[in-house]
Amino acid sequence: MGAYRYVKRLVRGITFFMKSYLVEKPKGLDFSLRQKSRNIITEGNHGYALTQRKAFDTIMEKIGVDKDDCFIDIGCGKGATLYYATNYDFRRIAGIEVEPALYGIARRNFKQLGIPNVELFFENAVNFDKYDQFNIFFLFNPFDDDIYIKVLERIVDSQHQNSCSKKVYLICYGASPVEYIRQSGNWELTDEFLDYVRVTDVHIWKLIRAGRQANLSRGSWGQAPDSVETIVDCSS
């Protein structure tokens, strides 16, 4: 690790630690502290680290958000990105998390905040079958590349089966299989930038719907399934 990255990481760690213990914990919240190995039990899973709020806002500005957009964070961890998303006019906001410890923290965070419009799925992202209900996909290096690619294949397949012509964005924050995505022919790179706080790359891709006739019906957008968990309804 270069000296610049080391210093940035040290400063970031101190900042997150202070924010966690001085701001979040007194409110019963836990967003800032990373959790990369403790209680992480799923093979290939990279645990949790905090997405930078400024970087998230920059991404939202670049893609534009409207009231019909449905956002999902794949590997949402403690839920910080979902919390940021509540400041935007999304129709739906959801996260997938396979780690029991991180899923539990996310549930407690949103229950403590009393935010009603966030959904959590306790599930393996490779097996998730509701990608067709979303059009903004966010991933912060949640797992190894082989899993990442399988998830991307599921997303593409779900969108090709979807009758809705809504724009579809893939946001890759941090490490991602860039060459695979580029060579797949399914995605067009619309923007990329460096998050100077984390010193990490951000890639924004848009799904290419070549050969498909646009269907202007809403399809399944915004229709929450009965089985999904809404945070304020959690009983524990």
pLDDT tens across 159-196, in order?
Answer: 987 666 689 999 999 999 999 999 999 999 999 999 98
135 belongs to a structural domain: yes
pLDDT tens across 192-211, in order?
Answer: 999 988 889 999 999 997 54
24 belongs to a structural domain: no
Give percent of the chain above pLDDT 70.
Answer: 79
126 belongs to a structural domain: yes
Spatial separation of the C-alpha atoms in residues 18 and 22, rounded to whole Å: 6
27 belongs to a structural domain: no
pTM here is: 0.84
Domain count, the chain: 1
Q: Is there a contact between 47 and 37 (Cβ–Cβ < 8 Å)? A: yes
Spatial separation of the C-alpha atoms in residues 135 and 166, rounded to whole Å: 7
Is a pLDDT exceeding 60 seen at residue 18? yes
- CATH number of 88's domain: 3.40.50.150
22 belongs to a structural domain: no
- Segment among 37-41, 49-53, 74-78 with least mean pLDDT: 37-41
67 belongs to a structural domain: yes
Its domain, for residue 223, covers 34-233
